[in-house]
Amino acid sequence: MNLAENSQSNGHLRQEVALLRQRVAELEADRSPVNSTSYADFLFENSGETILIIDPYTMKILDANPNAARRFGYERAELCNLMLEQIEMPRQLDDHDAETAWQSSISGTFFYECQYRHKDGSIIPVEVSSRLVFWEGQDVLINFVRDISWRKQAEEALRQINTTLEQQVRERTAELAAEKEKLEAVLGSIVEAVANVDNDRNILYINQAFITMTGYSLAEAQTMNIDTLFDLTAYDRQERADAFNLGMTWSGEVTGWRKDGRSYPTILTMVPMLNEDGRITGYVTSHQDLSRFQALDKAQYSFITNVTHQLRTPLTNIKLYTQLLEGGLNNVKAGHYLQVLISQADRLEHLVQDILELASLDSSDNALEWRDINLAEMVYQMCVANQSRAKEQQLSLDCTVAENMPHISGDATRLRQAINELLDNAFAYTPAGGHISVEVEAPIADGRHWIAITVDDDGPGIAAEERAHIFERFFRGSVAEQGHISGTGLGLCITQQIAQAHHGHVTLHSQPGVGSSFTIWLPLDIL
């Protein structure tokens, strides 16, 4: 490059630098501070916010932006001549306001909610943020006011929804409580022991029958697994698992265990509870103590066996002596055979009659004919009627009746039968020369008033090991068997049944070689 060209190049460079400096100066001029007053006025006049400028000492509105005038329905000049209290309604501070006021002490701005009155009288819920500033040589409050009608409407709608939901919850809770009470009443009234268990078969709930049957309280049972209360064989467990896998009920005969360690036979039934997806959510179990039914079956079998045995003897004798008579043996023995037949027929008749009496007493259809009875007079007359019988058997019979004996309500025919059974028993076991006494009194025992009829004899007495069975059906003690004393073994059982039908009972006191004493206890306060 020559010298002329170099000089021209420097001239261009100087021109570029000059232009650059001019541009920088323009930029620096553009960056100079804008008049703060004009900028604030611009924001104040054009803001979408509702802005009020207030004298903090007189609370007079000094200025309001156009949006404020539109919001409250005033002309701007009109609004600027009002006191704040003319548009801002008084408010009651609550805990929320107090909290935000405390927060405003940190930020310098005070926040609160209140209501503003429109020029037409309508009320506008608002949220106000108020800040104290120094502006144009004086202290002023700048209030930014926001219309929160939409929020209040939403809150009101939400409150209504909450109120409706709360009411529905209360109603549903009441319905569930009623259903629960109904269910508990039903479960409490049934005899089956019922338990609700979860998927792991832990007990959640048991009814009263379960508590009575097992001896465990609800609190105790809720710490237990239902499987610990029953003995299930490996076969039972597998069969139960197979049933549950199919969502089916399982039932099996198992042994249950009470809290005191005693066992009882039962049929345990478990029903799975399924949700909408068909999944098991728990189980309902039920069972019942079968001991009573097994004892009843045993008693029924024993009764049938005893009846068969008791009937067999007279029937065999009747058949035998009938054959002897038919055989044409000598007429000398014919009279004896005939007497045996008559005796066995009487025995058979007596046995059948006693069985019918027991069946009648056992039947729920057997209604006693209740009426007022002078029981003391009844017993006395029975003793008088049996004096000739006592004389024939060379026995003495005494009757003692306490004075002023009260009457009793009962069935006279049945009570006479019960007393007569005791008298027959005494006559059968008291040897010649012996003594029978009957006493009627009105003692107080166990806090109740009773009439007690006691029949004493001085017969052979009853062995201690036999006393526990003396009121059982068809029971005949060793003395009766060895002494060939006639009887069906049902008399004392019938007496006990009649006493129980009158809400009473029969007691026994006996000593071998001394005699026996039977007492019928009948309460005076029978309803």
Range ranked top by mean pLDDT from 11-20, 298-307, 352-361, 418-427: 418-427
Kindly state the average pLDDT of the residues 250-271.
91
| pLDDT, position 455 | 94
The pLDDT value recorded for residue 1 is 46
Q: What is the pLDDT of residues 216-243, one digit of tens each?
A: 998 999 999 999 999 999 999 999 999 8
Amino acid 288: pLDDT: 84
pLDDT band per the 50, 70, 90 thresholds, residue 365: very low
Number of alpha helices (DSSP H) and beta strands (DSSP E) in the chain: 17, 19
pLDDT at position 5 is 46
The predicted-structure confidence for 61-118, as pLDDT tens digits, reads as follows 999 999 999 999 999 999 988 999 999 998 766 555 455 555 555 667 888 888 999 9
SS3 of the chain: helix, strand, coil, percent, to 5: 50, 25, 25
**Across 16-43, average pLDDT:** 59
pLDDT at 449 over 70: yes
Confidence category of residue 369, pLDDT binned at 50, 70, 90: confident
**518 beta partners:** 455, 508
- The residue behind tokens 């009757």 is 399
Q: What is the mean pLDDT of residues 18-33?
A: 55
Pick the more confident residue, 273 or 44.
273
What does DSSP assign to residue 294? H
pLDDT band at 32 (very low <50, low <70, confident <90, very high): very low
Q: What is the pLDDT of residues 282-316, one digit of tens each?
A: 999 988 888 777 766 665 666 666 666 666 667 77
Go through the domains of the chain in sequence order and give each one's CATH number.
36-147 (3.30.450.20), 190-289 (3.30.450.20), 294-360 (1.10.287.130), 367-523 (3.30.565.10)
- What confidence tens digit (pLDDT) does each residue in 110-161 have? 888 889 999 999 999 999 988 888 877 888 999 999 998 888 888 888 889 9
Min mean pLDDT across 37-51, 54-68, 152-166 is at 37-51
pLDDT tens-digit series, residues 477-518: 666 655 556 666 777 888 888 898 888 999 999 888 889 999
Token pair 């597998």 is found at: 238
Range with top average pLDDT, 30-34, 430-434, 461-465: 430-434
Segment 410-419 shows an average pLDDT of: 88
Residues 6 or more apart whose CB falls under 8 angstroms from that of 132 comprise 56, 108, 139, 140, 141
pLDDT value of position 438: 93
Higher pLDDT, residue 454 or 104:
454
Mean pLDDT of the chain: 80
Token readout for 251 is 């039932």
Percent of the chain clearing pLDDT 70 (strictly above):
74
C-beta neighbour count of 314 within 10 angstroms: 19
- For residue 15 the two structure tokens come to 């021109």
| Residue 133, φ and ψ in degrees, nearest 5 | -135, 165
Q: Express each pLDDT in 172-200 by its tens digit.
A: 888 877 777 776 666 666 778 888 999 99
Tell me the average pLDDT across 415-439. 90
